[in-house]
């Protein structure tokens, strides 16, 4: 679910999700989510992809609202 952009950033967002089953968790509603092997903190503090290191487990990010960074 990840795109290795030159500069590490959150990506892989799955939009307009209505249900997500992850192990024993069931999440329903209207939301966006992403799953990555590193924390948001590591993404913010690392300047190149080759320096990223997988962490124990996975990080699931749920977004109720999302505004892309692209141009209109």
Structural domains of the chain, count: 1
> Over the stretch 11-38, which tens digit does the pLDDT of each residue have?
888 989 999 999 999 999 999 999 999 9
Instruction: Please name every residue paired with 32 in a beta bridge, in sequence order, or none if there are none.
Output: 63
- Is 6 among the domain residues? no
Q: Is residue 50 part of a domain?
A: yes
d(CA 24, CA 11): 25
The pTM is what?
0.75
Q: Are 36 and 12 in contact (CB under 8 A)?
A: yes
Tens-place pLDDT, residues 46-63: 999 899 998 999 999 998
Judged by phi (left if over 0) then psi (alpha if -120 to 50, else beta), residue 50 lies in alpha
Residue 70 lies in a domain: no
Residue 9 lies inside a defined structural domain of this protein? no
């Amino acid at each position: 679910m990840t795109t290795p952009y030159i500069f590490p950033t959150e990506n892989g967002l799955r939009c307009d999700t209505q249900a997500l089953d992850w192990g024993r968790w069931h999440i329903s509603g209207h939301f966006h989510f992403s799953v990555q092997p590193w924390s948001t903190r590591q993404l913010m503090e690392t300047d190149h992809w080759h320096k990223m290191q997988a962490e124990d487990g996975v990080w699931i990010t749920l977004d109720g609202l999302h505004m892309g960074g692209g141009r209109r």
